[in-house]
Amino acid sequence: MLKSSSFRDDYMSKHYNNVAISVFPSLFLLMGSIQNSRFNTTATPKPLVIVTPINVSHIQATIFCSQKHGMNVRIRSGGHDYEGLSYVSVLPFVIIDLINLRAINVDGENSTAWVQAGATLGELYYSIAEKSGTLAFPAGACPTVGAGGHLSGGGYGGLMRKYGLAADNIIDAQLIDAKGRILDRASMGEDLFWAIRGGGGNTFGVVVAWKLKLVPVPHTVTIFSVVRSLEENATKLIHRWQYVANKLPEDLFITAYITKTNSSREGISTIQAEFPSLFLGGADRLLPLMQENFPELGLVKDDCTEMSWVEFVLYNSGYSTNSSLDVLLNRTPQYITNFKGKSDYVKKPMPEIAFEGIWKRFLKVGIETPRLILVPYGGKMDQISESSIPFAHRAGNLYKIQYLLLWNEQGKEASMRHVAWIRRLYSYTAPYVSKNPREAYIGYRDLDVGMNNIQGNTILVSGLACKDPKSVQASDFSFSGLHMLGNTSNAVGSRVPAVNVAQIPGLNTLGISFARIDYAPSGSNPLHTHPRASEILTVLEGSLEVGFVTSNPENRLITEVLQKGGVFVFPINLVHFQRNVGTSNAVA
C-alpha cells in the first residue's frame, strides 16, 4: 500500500510553483467536519492523504500523482454527502478538500456570480446579500452545505417552483479533467457541460468554480408555518396537500415536514405535520390565495410574518432575523448525528391509509427521530425539459419524498438496526411511488440503490466482475453467433437465442440485450412482457404479425403485419407477441 509520504514527495516534485501547499497525513481536518457520524468511526476507511489546494495547479498535481500510484480521488466541498462518498472509499484513496477554494465574485449589475466549489451556501448567500437585497440564488436552506456538491447533484430549494433547481441556473463552469486540463464551458463542450449540472459530484472531473445566474426576488416576502398533530387532523391535511401544493402559483412554496413528537398524554408519542412555507410577496396577497386554494389549512393573518428577503435568508438558514449576516460565514455544522436518508418521487396522490401505515412505523418504540419531508413540484419544475440537464425528475411528479432517520445511539448494532428500519419503510412505500424505474434523487446519495459488491479485490456490478481496464479486449464487446439458425421444433414453433451480458461483458449496466428469433411457419413468440425494458424488433426474413396490448382501462390491441426490413417497437411493460403469418421460415 502506498505510504502518504511517498505521495507527498511525488506531489512536491510535480508542483508547478513555489506556493506552499498543505498535504495532510493527519485526520484532524477530516474528522472535525464530517456531517454524518455513521462515517466517523475507527472502522471507517481513511484517506492516505488529504490535499487542501489553494490554486488549480495543486489539483492538477494531485490528479497526476493519484494516477501514478493507482489511488482513487475523492473530492470534498462541504462534507454533506449522505453516504460519505466525498471522504470514504473501500479502495486506497486521497481526498482533495476544496476548503481553501471558496472565493465568490458577485456581479450585481449583470445578476451573475462566480463561486468556487469549496464555498458553502451560507457564504454564497452572504455575498449576494452584501450586494443586493433583491437578488437571490435558488438553492438549499442549510448554510454549511458545500456549493460544489449541491450544484453537482441538482440542488433543491424554496425557489424551485419559481426558478427551477440550482443546477438549472448554472451558465458556465471551470473544470479540471483527468488529463489535468483546465476547461470552461466553451472548451469542455456542451455534452460535458450538460453532464456536470446534476449528474452527481466526483464523477466527470474536479469542478473548481461555477458561474451562476442570480434571480430577482421582491424586497418583502411572507413566511408561515402551520403545525398540526394526528389529533388535529394532520393525516387529512397531508392527504389534501398532495392535490394542492403543485398547482399553487409559482410564488408560493408549501412543504410538508412530518416528525414524531410527544403528545398531550404523558409517555405517548404522536405524529406532527408542519407546513413551512414561503410566499414571494406580502400577506395581503397571500391570504386570499390560501383561502381559495387550501382553506383546509386554516391560515390566518396571525400565522404570517412579513420580512425582507435578507431576513428570510437568515431565517431559512436557522438563525434569527436580527442576526448579523456574518453568521452565514460559519462553516461549523449546526447539528451532527448519525443518519440515513432515502428519496422517492410521487406521481399519484397516496391514499390516507398509506400515510397511516407510515405513522405506525414512525411510532415504533426504539426509533429515535424519523422524518418525512414532502417537497412540492409544479411551476417551473414542470416547464423544464427532463433532458435539459441530467436531473430528469420534471413534469409528472406531484412531489418528492425525502426519508430521514437520525439517531444518537452509537455502535454498529444501533446503526444496523436503524438502517434496517428505514429500508423497511422504503419497501412499504413502494406501491405508492414511481415505478419502472423507481426514481431517486442523486443529491441524497443512497447506496442501497445500485451498490457495488466487493469480493476480495474484485468489484462486482450487477453480480458480475468489473475487468481491469488494462485487460479489456475487443472480445468483451463483440459476439458472432447470431448467424446460426435456431431449432424451431417445439410447441410454439420459435427459438429465441439471447445475447446479453453473459455473451458480451461490455453490456453490463447498459440495460441492453439482443436476440435472434427464428419462427417456423405459423410459429409464434407467445404473449410476454418486459417489466423494465422496451423491445425493438426488425424483420430480417419473412412476414410477421406483431402487436401489444395497451394499459388499463383501454386494453387496446395495437397490431401490424411487417415484411422484410420492417421495424416495430414494443413499449416497456406492455404484453406483446409476434407470429409468423407467412408460408416460409421468418427471422427477426
What pLDDT shows up at residue 168? 98
Share of the chain above pLDDT 70, in %: 92
pLDDT at 18: 42
Place of cell 480521488: 73
Provide the pLDDT for residue 452. 57
Asked whether residue 14 carries a pLDDT value surpassing 70, the answer given is no
pLDDT greater than 50 at residue 477: yes
**Is residue 25 over pLDDT 70?**
no
Residue 64 pLDDT: 93
In the structure, what pLDDT confidence band is assigned to residue 552 with cuts at 50, 70 and 90? Answer: confident
- pLDDT tens digit string along 571-583? 988 899 999 999 9
Numbered ranges of CATH 2.60.120.10 in the chain? 494-587
pLDDT confidence of residue 534: 87
Q: Is the pLDDT of residue 7 over 70?
A: no
Check residue 321 and report its DSSP letter: T
**Nine-digit cell at 350?**
397516496
Residue 463 has pLDDT above 90, yes or no: no
- Does residue 2 carry a pLDDT above 60? no
User: Per mean pLDDT, which range of 80-84, 149-153, 302-306, 350-354 is the poorest?
Assistant: 80-84
Cα–Cα distance, 148 to 210 (Å, whole number): 8
- Residue ranges of the chain assigned to CATH 3.30.465.10: 104-216
Q: Where in the chain is the domain with CATH 3.30.43.10?
A: 4-100
User: How many other CB atoms sit within 10 Å of the CB of residue 1?
Assistant: 6
pTM for the full model? Answer: 0.77
For residue 375, the Cα-to-chain-centroid distance in whole angstroms is 14
Catalytic residue positions?
Answer: 444
What CATH fold (topology level) applies to the domain 4-100?
Answer: 3.30.43
Size (the chain), residues: 588
Is 69 annotated to bind a ligand? Reply is: no
8: pLDDT strictly greater than 80 = no
Task: Name the amino acid, one letter, at 103.
Answer: A
Q: How far apart are CA 391 and CA 141, in angstroms?
A: 20
Q: Is 100 annotated as a binding residue?
A: no
pLDDT, tens digit (0-9, with 9 covering 90-100), for 334-361:
778 999 999 999 999 999 999 999 999 9
| Domain boundaries for CATH 3.40.462.20 within the chain | 220-299+335-432
Residue of higher predicted confidence among 413 and 468: 413
What architecture does CATH give domain 494-587? Answer: Sandwich (2.60)
Residue 259: pLDDT over 80: yes
Tell me what pLDDT residue 457 has: 61
Tens-place pLDDT, residues 420-447: 999 999 999 999 999 988 999 999 999 9
Q: What is the pLDDT of residue 27?
A: 64
Q: How many CA atoms lie within 13 A of 548 on its CB side?
A: 19
The average pLDDT across 381-404 equals 96
- Average pLDDT over every residue of 461-475: 75
Instruction: Record the cell numbers describing residue 310, joined without a space.
Output: 435578507
Instruction: State how far the Cα of 348 lies from the Cα of 79, in Å rounded to an integer.
Output: 34
Show Cβ contacts of residue 17 under 8 Å, excluding neighbours closer than 6 positions. 57
Q: Which of 293-307, 319-333, 451-465 has the lowest mean pLDDT?
A: 451-465
Q: How confident is the model at residue 456 (pLDDT cuts 50, 70, 90)?
A: low
Say what the pLDDT of residue 333 is. Answer: 79
Confidence band of 459 (pLDDT split at 50, 70, 90)? low
- Average the pLDDT over each of 318-327, 462-471, 522-531 and give the range with the smallest value: 462-471
Architecture of domain 104-216: 2-Layer Sandwich (3.30)
Which of 112-121, 434-443, 484-493: highest mean pLDDT? Answer: 112-121
pLDDT at 566 over 50: yes
pLDDT tens digits along 211-258: 999 999 999 999 999 999 999 999 999 999 999 999 999 999 999 999
- Per-residue model confidence as pLDDT tens digits over 124-178: 999 999 999 999 999 999 999 999 999 999 999 999 999 999 999 999 999 999 9
The pLDDT value given to residue 573: 80
pLDDT at 493 over 80: yes
SS3 412: helix
* Selection from 78, 49, 75, 391 nearest residue 206 by Cα: 75
d(CA 318, CA 260): 20
pLDDT of residue 327: 95
Q: Check whether 525 is labelled as a binding-site residue.
A: yes
CA neighbor of 163 nearest in space, from 202, 212, 116, 130: 212
DSSP secondary structure letters along 242-265 = HHHGGGS-TTEEE-EEEEEEE-SS
Higher pLDDT, 366 or 13: 366
What does the alpha-carbon distance between residue 62 and residue 73 come to, in Å, rounded to a whole number?
A: 9
Compute the distance between CA of residue 466 and CA of residue 476 in angstroms, rounded to an integer: 11
pLDDT category at 16 given cuts 50, 70, 90 is very low
Q: Is 91 exposed, middle or buried (0-12, 13-18, 19+ CB in 10 A)?
A: exposed
Does domain 220-299+335-432 bear CATH number 3.10.310.40? no
